[in-house]
């Protein structure tokens, strides 16, 4: 089949998602599902007070097909405000409120999930829920899940077994404990989770968090509830995430969601849907707020951050298109217009010159010169690029449908290094993809040696259902071979990263202080421009902006650290003075 045909098929599948999922959104009653254990049925007290009866009669006159279609494509401009929003016909306003119930979140997987947790929490907080960090106190437990590899899902299944025991042991005097699965696993497995783990009360896919108050209200009445609709435009632009740690120095700002790349091994396009970008104005508003709160670092977040394209206003479509990196192609039809990543990066970096800007995770295809130039010129944009290669073999890269060869990737690395002297590079690699031979593996080893990354994320291949590889290729590298190759990649990566990091010894680096080191109460920990951890003794020092003043570093301070030793993952040194990003840039 022509590659485009395959993409079209997937597009069609996603477009049909809402319709196909309508029945899925309908609520499942205990009576309809006699196999449901008593833990998911209303408690006797609740049946006595007529809540269940009342609910069932309202359900009979309940949601229409149109209702679900409407909620499936909530327009982006609509401000989220549960207080004023009409409840669905089968629920009262009161039932949509949290009424002080306590929610406990557990987050698994990537940074996107950390950000999703903050979005989900922001929505529930507005609905009157409280948050607890103690599992035992919780009335609702929500697991924000990851599906990228089998192991990630297995962790959740194991956790669900533990939570089942917690639910069963709960005294009858307390309100029943509700358990929800949010994110990629909810999206991937849908009904299978409810059938396999009967004590799960609700499922919400990555685009359904606005629906959480309704899903929880339904769950509260003893029904299982699910919304796994994928959206073409949901970016939660108007939902201000709640920062989990008030003392944090840095925050993540989601700028786009979804992925159109369809790499053949990856489940993400199926669990997080089509690529869509958040309007620039709402991103800038969030960054400004974070700067006012005193945060010193923002990481722009998305599955393909640098494929950013804000098409939210018609006039944006007249903008000149930017090119792909040389030698790179896409699996989808060329997109036109919109405000691109270079524009966003430029605007974001102007908000606060003392705020460091990072971004993750980019795709190597979208590094036009405008972006590289900006990273080079702008003092507060970190000279650090994540450049996921996945493999060093052109043959495997083709099977992965990455849209580039080893040669094009290496040429891009050289171009980036020439454009941004001193840039720090990191990458993702997969060991043991379908059909990977020993020779292919050695090509990956040689790429690791050639590029000498500062950081690396290495994984053994895990076949995922629905992906192109699952349908077309054979997972033919034995598990022990995958693990052996992974070990070899890790060893080589560490050797090379140590060499690369050792070049910093003797240099003075700007470090953003995060807090105490985990290993020793006498040491502080921070990050350098390349995002490497830097450890140094907590000592008094001069403050360059207040000559004569002796200070100790606090979280959120910029300090100069003279590097004295380096390993593959950490730098060590001693602190020289407290400074500012501007002062450092002016003097280096
Ligand atoms: N198996 C192993 N690793 C995977 N990744 C994505 N899908 C898989 C898979 N099926 C890795 C890629 C990606 C990172 C986020 O996870 O390296 O860049
Ligand atoms: Fe997955 Fe490829 Fe999209 Fe990354 S770019 S999320 S690896 S499909």
What does pTM read for this prediction? 0.84
Q: Is the CB of 111 under 6 A from ligand 1?
A: no
Report d(CA 125, CA 383) in Å as an integer. 37
Q: Which phi and psi angles does 212 have, rounded to 5°?
A: -55, -45
Q: Whole-angstrom distance between the N-terminal and C-terminal Cα of the chain?
A: 55
DSSP letter (8 states) at residue 515: E
- 31 pLDDT band, cuts 50/70/90, is very low
CA–centroid distance, residue 459 to ligand 1 (Å): 7
Query: Does residue 230 contact residue 276 with C-beta atoms inside 8 Å?
Result: no
User: Which of ligand 2's atoms lies nearest the C-alpha of 402?
Assistant: 2
**Structure confidence at residue 168 (pLDDT):** 92
Cα–Cα distance for residue pair 457/428, rounded to 1 Å: 5
Q: Establish whether residue 255 lines the binding site of ligand 1, counting it when its CB lies within 6 angstroms of any ligand atom.
A: no
Q: How far apart are CA 117 and CA 112, in angstroms?
A: 9
Distance 464 CA to ligand 2 centre (A): 13
> Strand 225-227 vs strand 202-204: parallel, antiparallel, or unpaired?
parallel
CA 268 to ligand 2 centroid distance, Å: 6
Q: Return d(Cα 330, Cα 438) in angstroms, integer.
A: 28
Between 519 and 19, where is the model more confident? 519
Residue 376: which residues within 8 A CB-CB, separation 6 or more? 383, 419, 420, 421
Please give the number of the atom of ligand 1 that sits closest to the Cα of 428.
17
Span 340-372, pLDDT tens digits: 999 999 999 999 999 999 999 999 999 999 999
Percent of the chain exceeding pLDDT 70 equals 83
| pLDDT at residue number 244 | 61
What secondary structure letter does DSSP report for 39? G
Rounded distance between C-alpha atoms, residue 436 and residue 262, angstroms? 19
Ligand 1 contact via 388 beta carbon (within 6 Å):
yes
Mutate to test the pocket of ligand 1, among 266, 301, 493 (most ligand atoms within 8 A of CB): 266
How many whole angstroms separate alpha carbon 159 and alpha carbon 466? 25
* CA pair distance 345, 296, nearest whole angstrom: 16
pLDDT at position 320: 66
For 451-506, what is each residue's pLDDT tens digit?
999 999 999 999 999 999 999 999 999 999 999 999 999 999 999 999 999 999 99
Q: How far is 574 from 539, CA to CA, in rounded Å?
A: 8
- Among the listed residues 257, 275, 259, the one whose alpha carbon sits nearest the alpha carbon of residue 267: 259
pLDDT digits (tens, 9 = 90+) for 108-146: 999 999 999 999 999 999 999 999 999 999 999 999 999
Q: Is the pLDDT confidence value at 10 over 50?
A: no
Helix (H) or strand (E) holding 399: helix 394-400
CA 430 to ligand 1 center in whole angstroms: 6
Question: What is the DSSP annotation of 292-342?
Answer: HTT--EEEEE-TTGGG-EE-SSGGGGGSPPPPPPTT---SSPPP--SEEHH
Confidence at residue 313, expressed as pLDDT on a 0 to 100 scale: 86
Among residues 138, 131, 407, which one has the least CA distance to residue 244? 131
Ligand 1: distance of its center to the CA of 54 in Å?
47
Using one digit for the tens of pLDDT, what is the confidence trace for 372-415? Answer: 999 999 999 999 999 999 999 999 999 999 999 999 999 999 99
Q: What number of CA atoms fall less than 13 Å from residue 507's CA on the CB side?
A: 15
User: Which of the four pLDDT bands, split at 50, 70 and 90, describes residue 51?
Assistant: very low
Read off the pLDDT of each residue in 173-186 and give the average, rounded to a whole number.
96
% of the chain surpassing 90 pLDDT: 74
pLDDT digits (tens, 9 = 90+) for 256-266: 999 999 999 99
Contacts with 557 (C-beta within 8 Å, 6 or more apart), sequence order: 512, 513, 578
Please report the DSSP string for 364-379 in residue order: GGG--HHHHHHHHH-T
- Contact at 8 Å (CB) between 18 and 222? no
Residue 87: pLDDT band (50, 70, 90) is: low
Q: Give the position, in ligand 2's atom list, of the atom nearest the Cα of 363.
A: 5
Average pLDDT of the chain to the nearest whole number: 86
What residues contact residue 484 under an 8 Å CB cut-off, 6+ apart?
Answer: none
The ligand minimizing its distance to the Cα of 332 is 2
Q: Can you give the pLDDT at residue 83?
A: 40
Phi/psi at 174 (nearest 5 deg)? -95, 160
Q: Count the helices and strands in the chain (H runs, E runs).
A: 21, 23
The residues lining ligand 2, judged by C-beta closer than 6 Å to any ligand atom, are 259, 261-263, 266, 268-269, 303-304, 363
Nearest to 182 by CA among 217, 212, 157, 162: 212
Taking the centre of ligand 1 as the mean of its atom positions, its distance from the CA of residue 77, in whole angstroms, is 34
Is-contact 300 505, C-beta < 8 A? no
CA of 402 to the centre of ligand 1 (A): 12
Task: Please state, in angstroms and rounded to a whole number, the distance separating the CA atoms of residues 219 and 451.
Answer: 52
* The pLDDT of residue 50: 40
> Which atom, in ligand 1's list, is nearest to the CA of 266?
7
């Amino acid at each position: 089949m022509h590659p485009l045909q395959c993409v079209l098929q997937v597009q069609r599948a996603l477009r049909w998602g809402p319709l196909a999922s309508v029945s899925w959104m309908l609520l499942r009653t205990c009576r309809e599902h006699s196999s449901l254990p008593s833990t998911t049925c209303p408690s006797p007290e609740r049946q006595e007070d007529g809540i269940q009866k009342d609910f069932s009669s309202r359900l009979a006159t309940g949601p229409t097909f149109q209702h679900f279609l409407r909620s499936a494509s909530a327009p982006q401009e609509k401000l989220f405000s549960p207080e004023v929003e009409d409840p669905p016909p089968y629920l009262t306003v009161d039932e949509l409120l949290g009424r002080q119930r306590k929610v406990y979140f557990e987050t698994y997987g990537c940074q996107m999930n950390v950000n999703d947790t903050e979005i989900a929490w922001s929505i529930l907080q507005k609905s009157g829920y409280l948050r607890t960090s103690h599992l035992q106190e919780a009335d609702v437990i929500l697991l924000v899940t990851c599906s990228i590899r089998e192991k990630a899902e297995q962790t959740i299944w194991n956790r669900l077994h533990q939570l089942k025991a917690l639910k069963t042991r709960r005294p009858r005097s307390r309100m029943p404990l509700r358990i929800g699965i949010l994110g990629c696993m909810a999206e991937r497995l849908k009904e299978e989770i409810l059938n396999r783990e009967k004590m799960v009360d609700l499922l919400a896919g990555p685009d359904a968090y606005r629906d959480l108050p309704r899903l929880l209200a339904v769950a509260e009445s003893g029904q299982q509830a699910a919304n796994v609709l994928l959206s073409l435009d949901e970016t939660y632009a108007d939902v201000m995430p709640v920062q989990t740690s008030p003392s944090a120095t840095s925050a993540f700002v989601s700028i786009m969601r979804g992925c159109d790349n369809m790499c053949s091994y990856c489940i993400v396009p199926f669990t997080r849907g089509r690529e869509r970008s958040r309007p620039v104005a709402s991103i800038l508003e969030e960054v400004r707020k974070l700067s006012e709160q005193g945060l010193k670092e923002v990481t722009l977040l998305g599955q393909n951050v640098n494929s950013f394209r804000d098409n939210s206003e018609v006039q944006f479509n007249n903008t000149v298109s930017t090119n792909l990196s040389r030698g790179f192609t896409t699996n989808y039809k060329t997109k036109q217009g919109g405000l691109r990543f270079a524009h966003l990066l430029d605007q974001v970096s102007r908000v606060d010159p003392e705020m460091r800007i990072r971004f993750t995770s980019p795709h190597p295809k979208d590094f036009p010169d405008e972006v590289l130039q900006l990273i080079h010129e702008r003092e507060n944009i970190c000279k650090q690029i994540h450049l996921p290669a996945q493999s060093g073999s052109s043959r495997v890269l083709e099977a992965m449908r990455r849209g580039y060869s080893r040669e094009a990737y290496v040429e891009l690395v050289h171009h980036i290094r020439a454009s941004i002297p001193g840039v720090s590079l990191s990458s993702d690699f997969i060991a043991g993809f379908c059909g990977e031979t020993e020779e292919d593996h050695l090509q990956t080893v040689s790429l690791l040696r050639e590029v000498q990354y500062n950081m690396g994320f290495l994984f053994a291949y895990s076949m995922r259902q629905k992906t192109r590889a699952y349908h077309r290729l054979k997972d033919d590298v034995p598990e022990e071979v995958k693990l052996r190759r992974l070990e070899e990649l890790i060893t080589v990566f560490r050797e090379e990263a140590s060499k690369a990091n050792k070049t910093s010894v003797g240099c003075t680096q700007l470090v953003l202080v995060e807090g105490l080191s985990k290993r020793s109460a006498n040491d502080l920990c921070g990050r350098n421009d390349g995002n490497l951890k830097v450890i140094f003794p907590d000592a008094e020092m001069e403050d360059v902006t207040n000559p004569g003043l002796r200070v100790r570093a606090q979280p959120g301070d910029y300090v100069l650290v003279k590097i004295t030793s380096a390993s593959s993952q950490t730098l060590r040194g001693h602190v020289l003075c407290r400074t500012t990003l501007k002062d450092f840039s002016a003097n280096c």
